[in-house]
Every structure is written in C-alpha cells, then in structure tokens.
C-alpha cells in the first residue's frame, strides 16, 4: 500500500507543476478525493492557508491534519478509513487565522441541499453504446445540418406528485420520448452542476465537476445522454466559467486571500448577480475551468457546452459599479478574452466535434470563427439582437408595426456576421417579462395566431433554433423555477393544437433542406419584399443546393387577410402551399390549403414572374415549387 501511495505522490508532483502553469486540463485527477488501496487520498489547493484539516463521517468530523507541498500550495492526506458515500469537508485555517469549513472544489458529488458536504463517489464502469451517433457527428458538417434545441430546466420540466423533482432516470423515461414526439434535434439544459440555491437556476455554481445531487446520480445522467444519442438527439449543457457562488463555505477567498478571484475587489465582486468573478488570467484557475469543461465532455459524452455570460468575461465595464480600464486604456478584459480563446482551442484540439456556444449580447467582439482571425473561437453565438427586436415587434399593436418594420427585417443585414442561434429562451419568460404567449398582442385567438406566426419566422429565418420548455404549447403563465410546467394547459384544445403545430413545424424544418443546407452562406436567403410596410407582409426565400430546392415564405403581421396577394417568384411554373399557420388542425379556421399558384409573366420588383395567393390574417404561409422551368426566368 505504501508503494502505491508513493507512486501516486510521484505522479502528482509532475501534475501539480502542470497545474501551476495553467496547462493541466485533467486536474481533477490530481486534486479532490481518489481511492488508493483501501482508503482515499485527499488533496486541495490552498496556497496561503496556515493549516488545513480533513473532516468527515470517517473521523466523526474531528479533523485529520493535512501536509502542504510548499511549491504547489497543495495540501494532502491519506485516510484509510474513508469509504464510498462518506461525506467530508476541509477545515481551512485561513491566512489571517480564521477557521472556515470549506467544500472540496474538485468533488464529483455533493450531499443534497441545503448541505454542501462532498460525498465520496466512484463512477461505475460504463460501456457506452452511442458509437454510431459519435461516428455520424464526425462525418457531418454542423453548419449544414438542422439544429432545433429544446431548452430545459431539469427540475421544473415535470415533478412527482409529492413535489420531488424528476431524477435523470425519470427524465430518461419521459423527456426523451417527448423530444422524439416533438421532433427536436437537440436538448439544452440550464446548468446541471452543483449549486446551493435553486432560484439561481444553476448559474451560481459551487461544484464544477459535480452533477447536482438534486437530479440523481452521475451514472443516471450518463444513461440519459446515451439514450438521447440512441434516439438521435444531441445534448448541450450550460456552463458558467465567469463567476461563482458567493457563499463563504464554498469557493470565495478559499485560503483567506484572493485565490480563485481577482485581487482587485472591484473586479472580484459581481454586483449584477451577487456573485464572485473568477480571475481568468490566473494559470491555476485556467487549469480548473478547462478541466471542468473537459470532464463534462468526456465523462458524459455531451455534444456541446453553452458558455454563459460571455460579455461579463470580456468587458471590464459590463457589471454595475466601478471599473478600471486595462493597461491599454480600454474596457476589454484581456484575461477573459484570452482565456476564452484558450478554452476553445483546447476543446477543439481534443474534441473537434463538440460545439462551443456563446451567450454574448454585444456586437463589438467577433465571437465565432477562427481564433487566428481574431475571434473568440466559438462555433455558435446566441443572436440576442434578433430576439430583442422580434419580441418588441410581436408585442406591438399591428397598427404600429408598419412604422417599425425594420425590427422584423434588420437581422437580415448582419445574419452572416456570426454563426447564430436564434434563442427564445428562459430569460424572456421570467421576472415580469411575461410568457411568449402572453407577450402576443390581442385576444387569446389572435395570440395563438401570432405565436404560430412567430415560430414560423423562427424556423425559416437563417440560424439555428432554440425554444424554452412550455413555449411549445403556448403556456400563458411565466416560468416558475420551483414548480413544474403547466401541463394541465394541454386539456385546452387551443394549447393542444399549438403543441401539435410546434411538433409538425419542427418536423417540417428537419425535412426541408432549403432551411439549413446553405445556412453558412448568404446564398441561403433571398429577400423578395421587405418594404411592404403598408400591408406589413414580409416575403423571402430560403434556398438549398439545387436550383429547384427553395421555399417562399410570406408572413402577415396584421389582423387583415391579404387576398390576391402578389409575390415575386424566380421561375415560371406552379407553386404549391406546403405550410399554413391557420389550418384548423393547428387551432386556426382554414379547412384547406390555398390552391396551387400558376405564375404570371408580370414584373414584380426584381422578378419577371409573380404569383397570387391569400395570406391569412396574422398568419404565415410557405410555398414550394411544384413544376417550374428553371431555364426560363
């Protein structure tokens, strides 16, 4: 046993040197708790602590002194009495002599809230069965494939009758079939890492390597991801590398000095969210955070990470409160900028098919694309500008929309500037903002009509798609993090029809190559008429690789039915309506589609041909060429 421990110590000396340099991307294999022979070896980084002791179930919480390696600042002790499922903490005598019971920052499991003690846990050996999914991802171009994301808060999607949240075993049984039924291609979870306060929604973390015990065991989440892949569904997880929970018994000022946080108290304190900012320029913090990302990718086979609050990481003046310019006199957080480039470079080198997604609200910094070209190196960026403009527009009285039509169309001007995801996310349905359904103008019938119109625009506009749970059927109440969704809504015929609409629209999106095949190119869209403000109807085309593969979209933003409405078309021939938001099965009043349109040789703007059809009040239609002559325009 002593020989085994000595081997581990020798290995750890090399690993600790790499940790200090910021290049150890598997630092959880060094720090934390690890089984050795019959017991466990415990290590924690606390360079300026006067003393650190291990306390837990195995010693009646009395404390075992740990030894410090002066070079690395890592404290270590071997405990032969420790066993799996025991709880433990570190008792840290900080630099000023104050004693605080602290969490293990590298724990892979914690006790259930409100406690924050780490639990000794061993991952069971798993033989993954998702090789076909992984192989298919390696061969596919993520930019030229459909991506329609269902955003979920795991504990409020559905709960048991006694109010207990679903575990991932429960979610595997019910959520995955629902995703299949609703025709989503991906699911994205709000943070699943350990956090002590439910109302933070997981955005103020304490355990960067631990699935929250609120959601079950890590093995259950592994099984969930595997089952998603077997059903052709990708899994994304939100991750928060910019700031963390302020609780004194967690990460803040761990050894009594600025350890994970900035030395400058103004930079360390996050006033906006009541949390603490990581010092992203510190090598040990870089090792910690990048190791966390790698851990989630490799242990759980997740397909992507959405990095939260990127603006807070790359701008010194993003927060509320005092700020100081960088050494160049600007507002760029240079440490955060270079950390994100490093993060993306490391992930892409190790896992080129894992998607890195940024939630970033400004337009000053290139976010997606090659790092060599000056960007942060993400694959996708949430298009917050599109989301804000669109929701303002749909909340507006239709009488006013003609004067604000650019809110609807402005995104076409910059749609190729980044690789965008169009988010209608959780942030838009809380804190008095009202649900998407409740935002819509007019009476209940008109609200559903506009919601169908909005989702059609979401699906047909260039960019990948994201919709928050409950919005698929038009839940009227705001989302509540501590209650399940209003599933009773589906007893109402209009809500049920709205859910059917979303499912069929999602299927339509997956089947129509024109909606995603050329999405990384400006050729994917052609505006037919964005200037019809008097009637407030927008028309445009989405195009695939083949000339005959295109769709014509018409969105009517007024409660007035537009009959004999003219639309310019590129080729003579016939055009068939393949989508109409006002069909009776979707909650509308139409019992049959518009007749097939025969083009007429009449000039319409840039087109030599036009068709005439009816666009429903507050509705949207999509037409597809049926029999056209592409040689004659």
The domain that holds 14 is classified in CATH as 2.60.40.10
Q: Which are the catalytic amino acids?
A: 308, 359
Q: Which pLDDT does position 4 carry in this prediction?
A: 52
Residue 633's pLDDT band, with cuts at 50, 70 and 90, is low
What six digits make up the tokens of 135?
A: 């192989």
In a domain, 543, yes or no: yes
Note whether residue 130 is domain-resident: no
Rounded distance, CA 4 to CA 24, Å?
Answer: 22
Q: What range defines the domain where residue 532 resides? A: 522-628
**Percent of all residues in the chain with a pLDDT value above 70, rounded to a whole number:** 98
Q: The pTM is what? A: 0.96
Tokens of 412: 């076409």
Q: Tell me how crowded residue 283 is: count the other CB atoms within 10 A of its CB.
A: 15
Domain boundary residue among 119, 144, 160?
Answer: 119
Q: Which pLDDT value is given to residue 454? A: 98
Residue from 252, 290, 244 nearest 18 by CA: 290
Please, which pLDDT band fits residue 631 given cuts at 50, 70 and 90?
confident
Decide which of 69, 92, 119 is a domain's last residue.
119
What pLDDT score does 385 carry?
Answer: 95
**The predicted structure's pLDDT at residue 14:** 86
Mean pLDDT of the chain: 95
CA 111/CA 167 separation, integer angstroms: 15
Question: Scanning the structure block, which residue is given the tokens 């589609």?
Answer: 593
The model's confidence at residue 13, banded by pLDDT at 50, 70 and 90, is confident
CA nearest 296: which of 391, 215, 222? 222
- pLDDT at residue 550 above 60? yes
Q: Is residue 33 part of a domain?
A: yes
pLDDT one-digit tens code per residue, 435-453: 999 999 999 999 999 999 9
Domain's final residue, options 119, 149, 180: 119
For the chain, the distance separating the N- and C-terminal CA atoms, rounded to the nearest angstrom, is 82
Give every CB contact of residue 623 below 8 A, 6+ residues apart in sequence: 551, 552, 554, 567, 575, 576, 577, 578, 597, 611, 613
If one counts the domains in the chain, the total is 2
Q: Are 185 and 234 in contact (CB under 8 A)?
A: yes
Domain membership of residue 327 (yes or no) is no
- Residue 527 pairs in a beta bridge with 540
Mapped onto helix, strand or coil, the DSSP state of residue 606 is coil
The number of beta carbons lying within 10 Å of the beta carbon of residue 403 is: 11
User: 622 forms bridges with which residues in the sheet?
Assistant: 553, 579
How big is the chain by its Cα radius of gyration, in Å? 27
d(CA 332, CA 425): 27
In a domain, 93, yes or no: yes
Is pLDDT of 1 > 50?
A: no
Could you report the per-residue pLDDT of 297-343, keeping only the tens digit for each? Answer: 999 999 999 999 999 999 999 998 889 999 999 999 999 999 999 99
Predicted confidence band at 552 (pLDDT cuts at 50, 70, 90)?
Answer: very high
Q: Is 548 helix (H, G, I), strand (E, B) or coil?
A: coil
Per-residue pLDDT, 8: 52
State the DSSP string of 144-210: GS--EEEEE-TTTS-B-TTSPBP-HHHHHHHHHHHHHHHT-SEEEESP-EE-S-GGGTT-S-SEEEE
Distance between CA atoms of residues 57 and 513, nearest Å: 58
pLDDT tens figures, 146-178: 999 999 999 999 999 998 999 999 999 999 999
| Beta carbons within 8 Å of 603's beta carbon, 6+ residues apart | 610
Residue 570, domain CATH: 2.60.40.1180
Residue 119 in 3-state DSSP?
Answer: strand
Per-residue pLDDT tens digits for 261-311: 999 999 999 999 999 999 999 999 999 999 999 999 999 999 999 999 999
- The rounded percent of the chain whose pLDDT value lies above 90 is 94
In-domain check, residue 27: yes
Give tens-digit pLDDT for 69-100.
Answer: 999 999 999 999 999 999 999 999 999 999 99
Phi and psi, residue 198, nearest 5°: -60, -35
**Confidence class for position 101, pLDDT limits 50, 70, 90:** very high
Average the pLDDT over 26-54 and give the result: 96
How crowded is residue 248: how many other Cβ atoms within 10 Å of its Cβ? 11
The pLDDT of residue 363 is above 90:
no
Residue-level pLDDT at 10: 56
Q: Report the C-alpha gap between 307 and 293 in whole angstroms.
A: 10
Mean pLDDT of 185-212: 96
Per-residue pLDDT reduced to its tens digit, 387-404: 999 999 999 999 999 999
Evaluate if residue 595 carries a pLDDT over 70: yes
Q: Is it the case that residue 3 has pLDDT exceeding 70?
A: no
> 552 lies in a domain?
yes
**What is the structure's pLDDT at 6?**
53
């Amino acid at each position: 046993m002593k020989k085994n421990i000595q081997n581990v110590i020798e290995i750890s000396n090399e690993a600790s040197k790499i940790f200090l340099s910021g290049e150890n991307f598997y630092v959880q294999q060094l720090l934390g708790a690890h089984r050795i022979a019959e017991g466990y070896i415990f290590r924690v980084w606390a360079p300026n602590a006067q003393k650190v002791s291990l306390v837990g179930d195995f010693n009646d919480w009395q404390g075992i002194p740990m030894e410090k390696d002066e070079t690395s600042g890592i404290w270590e002790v071997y405990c032969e009495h420790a066993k799996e499922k025991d709880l433990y903490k570190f008792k840290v005598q900080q630099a000023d002599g104050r004693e605080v019971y602290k969490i293990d920052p590298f724990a892979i499991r914690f006790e259930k809230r409100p406690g924050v003690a780490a639990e000794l846990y061993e991952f069971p050996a798993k033989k993954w069965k998702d090789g076909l999914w992984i192989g298919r991802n390696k061969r596919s171009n993520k930019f030229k494939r459909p991506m329609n994301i269902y955003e979920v808060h795991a504990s409020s999607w559905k709960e048991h009758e006694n109010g207990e949240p679903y575990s991932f075993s429960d979610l595997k049984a019910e959520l995955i079939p629902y995703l299949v039924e609703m025709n989503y291609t991906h699911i994205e979870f709000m943070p699943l890492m350990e956090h002590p306060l439910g109302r933070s929604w997981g955005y103020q973390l304490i355990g960067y390597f631990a699935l929250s015990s609120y959601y079950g065991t890590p093995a259950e989440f592994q099984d969930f991801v595997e089952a998603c892949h077997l059903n052709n569904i990708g899994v994304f997880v939100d991750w928060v590398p910019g700031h963390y929970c302020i609780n004194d018994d967690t990460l803040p000022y761990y050894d009594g000095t600025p350890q994970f946080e900035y030395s400058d108290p103004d930079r360390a304190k996050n006033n906006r969210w009541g949390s603490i900012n990581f010092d992203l320029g510190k090598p040990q913090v870089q090792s910690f955070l990048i190791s966390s990302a790698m851990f989630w990718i490799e242990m759980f086979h997740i397909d992507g990470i959405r990095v939260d609050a990127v603006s807070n990481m790359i701008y010194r003046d993003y927060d509320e409160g005092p700020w100081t310019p960088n050494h160049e006199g600007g507002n760029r957080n240079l440490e955060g900028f270079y950390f994100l480039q490093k993060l993306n470079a490391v992930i892409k080198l190790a896992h080129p098919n894992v998607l890195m997604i940024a939630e970033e609200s400004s337009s000053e910094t290139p976010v997606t694309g090659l790092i060599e070209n000056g960007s942060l190196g993400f694959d996708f960026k949430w298009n917050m500008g599109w989301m804000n403009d669109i929701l303002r527009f749909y909340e507006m009285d239709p009488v006013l929309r003609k004067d604000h039509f650019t809110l609807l169309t402005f995104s076409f001007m910059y749609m190729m500037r980044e690789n965008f995801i169009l988010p209608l996310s959780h942030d838009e349905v809380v804190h008095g903002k009202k649900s998407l359904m409740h935002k819509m103008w007019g009476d209940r019938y008109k609200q559903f009509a506009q919601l169908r119109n909005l989702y059609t625009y979401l699906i047909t506009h260039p960019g990948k798609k994201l919709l928050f749970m409950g919005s698929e059927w038009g839940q009227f109440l705001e989302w509540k993090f501590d209650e399940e969704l209003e599933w009773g809504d589906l007893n109402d015929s209009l809500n049920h029809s709205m859910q059917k609409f979303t499912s069929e629209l999602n299927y339509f999106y997956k089947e129509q190559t024109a909606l995603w095949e050329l999405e990384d190119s400006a050729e994917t869209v052609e505006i037919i008429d964005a200037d019809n403000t008097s009637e407030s109807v927008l028309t445009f085309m989405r195009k695939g690789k083949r000339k005959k593969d295109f769709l014509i979209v018409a969105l009517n933003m007024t409660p007035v039915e537009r009959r004999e409405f003219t639309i310019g078309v590129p080729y003579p021939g016939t055009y068939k309506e393949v989508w109409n938001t006002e069909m009776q099965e979707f909650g509308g009043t139409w019992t049959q589609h518009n007749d097939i349109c025969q083009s007429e040789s009449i000039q319409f703007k840039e087109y030599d041909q036009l068709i005439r059809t009816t666009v429903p009040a507050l509705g949207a239609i999509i037409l597809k060429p049926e029999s056209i002559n592409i040689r004659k325009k």
